[in-house]
Structure 1
Amino acid sequence: MQNIPHSESELLRRIAAGDEYAYQIIFESYWDAVYSAALLLTKSPGLAEDVAQDVFTMVWEKRTTLPAVEKLDGFLFITARNIIYSRFRKLASGDAYRRYVLERFPEEAAEGADRQAEFRELEQTVLRAIQQLPPQQQKAFKLSRFGGMRHEEIALTMGVSRITIKSYIVQAIASLRKALSNHPSGALAILWGLLFLH
């Protein structure tokens, strides 16, 4: 934190008030540490990247609570750890549920394959939400999720730094979650795929 031009507590107060510049400072200062901690716990670079994005998305979404945080590095590590544990629990319970349905209710599993029209409609809802993002966030998000480009490639394409691209994508995820928070769970399932399976 030696090179940060403001105190940590001041930055947290400013982020709580919606200051995106202060958020960018925290993001750039702590991204590598959060990613490294997630990598240590998950042993997966892809999952660690996703977890780090989740952590900073949550920081922005819950920014009004930040002034109460006494040690930001500890707060970020605990947040990353909780997200990892939550993901593992969901993956485990999801697999168990799918096996249960396939074994005991094969007709329900078959019916699920016939619901493509519903999912196409939900997908359109997600795409409309993406169209509402600020131009730079939208471009970075699309190049990442739809173009399959790595952050380094997007940074070169857009003429900004790799960490700025990460910030754009994290803020895009936060905006999309908020926009779709009241939508039926089907849309959130599609959003999960769009946001995290890369």
Structure 2
Amino acid sequence: MHEIPHSDSEMLRLLALGDEQAFQTLFERYWDAVYSTSLVLTKSAAIAEDIAQDVFTILWEKRATLPEVSRLEGYLFITARNLIYSRLRKLASGDAYRQYVLQFLHEGGAQQADHAAEFRELEQCVLTAIRQLPPQQQRAFTLSRFEGMRHEEIATTMGVSRITIKSYIVQAIASLRKALSNHPSGAMGALWAMIFFS
């Protein structure tokens, strides 16, 4: 195994090649700063946690372009700021969206049967995608989303740090988004709400 260099630029070069250890190193280096900045701007620990997770999901998803980034800290700050502004604009419609999801899951008649079949098909796609994740990511994601365990509990169970668990879950979400991005189902919004935002 190679030793991960300490400079951001070299780490970004390795990350662009898909190096998960480089991602984890950057994650551990900048998570607190991204979360703290988000907390200051949103005044909400829950939203700040979501924003930080999204920032690192984007970092992983856009890893191929990262060697062009000259200053990673600034890149992460701008990404967080943009996500926060977008989130704040959408907050007003958040309750409406959740009501839509609940209505989707409880509506009656033939439409419900059609949606239920569609939802089961999509659920199988999600489970298949989860089974294709690397073992550690798969276990962390499953314990978080399906067992309802907190990050601290998962870290204890898996014998790793809390921030490592966060890193695993971020990478898992990025992989699942990519795997399911082209699914035509109209049930996708409901599934995202149940799995990714629970």
Tell me the TM-score normalised to structure 2 length. Answer: 0.83
Q: CA deviation at 1:91?
A: 4.2
Aligned 8 A contact 2:118 2:185 in 1? no
Aligned 8 A contact 1:125 1:187 in 2? no
What letter corresponds to residue 49 of structure 1 in structure 2? E
Q: CA deviation at 1:125?
A: 1.6
Equivalence map 1:14-163=2 (5 Å): 14-93=14-93, 113=112, 115-163=115-163
**Residue 194 (structure 1) aligns with:** 195
Aligned 8 A contact 1:55 1:76 in 2? yes
Separation (CA, whole Å) in 2 of partners of 1:113 and 1:44: 36
Aligned 8 A contact 1:126 1:187 in 2? no
Identical aligned pairs, as a percentage?
72
What letter corresponds to residue 16 of structure 1 in structure 2? A
Residue ranges of structure 1 left out of the alignment (5+ in a row):
102-108
Separation (CA, whole Å) in 1 of partners of 2:26 and 2:69: 13
**Which stretch shifts more, 8-17 or 56-65?**
8-17
Separation (CA, whole Å) in 1 of partners of 2:91 and 2:185: 17
**Which stretch shifts more, 23-32 or 64-73?**
64-73
**Which stretch shifts more, 55-64 or 33-42?**
33-42
**Which stretch shifts more, 110-119 or 161-170?**
110-119
SS for the counterpart of 1:196 is: coil
Aligned 8 A contact 2:145 2:195 in 1? yes
**Which stretch shifts more, 86-95 or 48-57?**
86-95
Separation (CA, whole Å) in 2 of partners of 1:92 and 1:126: 29
What letter corresponds to residue 191 of structure 1 in structure 2? W
Separation (CA, whole Å) in 1 of partners of 2:14 and 2:150: 31
**Residue 177 (structure 1) aligns with:** 177
Separation (CA, whole Å) in 1 of partners of 2:176 and 2:164: 18
What letter corresponds to residue 182 of structure 1 in structure 2? N
**Which stretch shifts more, 179-188 or 22-31?**
179-188
Q: CA deviation at 1:120?
A: 2.3
How many residues in Structure 1 have an aligned counterpart in Structure 2? Answer: 186
User: Measured at CA, do residues 131 and 125 of structure 1 come closer, stay the same or move farther in structure 2, by a change above 3 Å?
Assistant: same
Aligned 8 A contact 1:126 1:191 in 2? no
Summarize deviations over 1:76-128 as a string: whole Å, max 9, x none.
111112112223334435656899x9xxxxxxx87765522222222222122
Aligned 8 A contact 2:122 2:185 in 1? no
Separation (CA, whole Å) in 1 of partners of 2:112 and 2:83: 30
Summarize deviations over 1:160-190 as a string: whole Å, max 9, x none.
1111111110110111011011112535311
Summarize deviations over 1:51-74 as a string: whole Å, max 9, x none.
111111110110111112122111
Residue ranges of structure 2 left out of the alignment (5+ in a row):
101-106
Q: How large is the Cα RMSD of the aligned pairs?
A: 2.4
User: Measured at CA, do residues 174 and 116 of structure 1 come closer, stay the same or move farther in structure 2, by a change above 3 Å?
Assistant: same
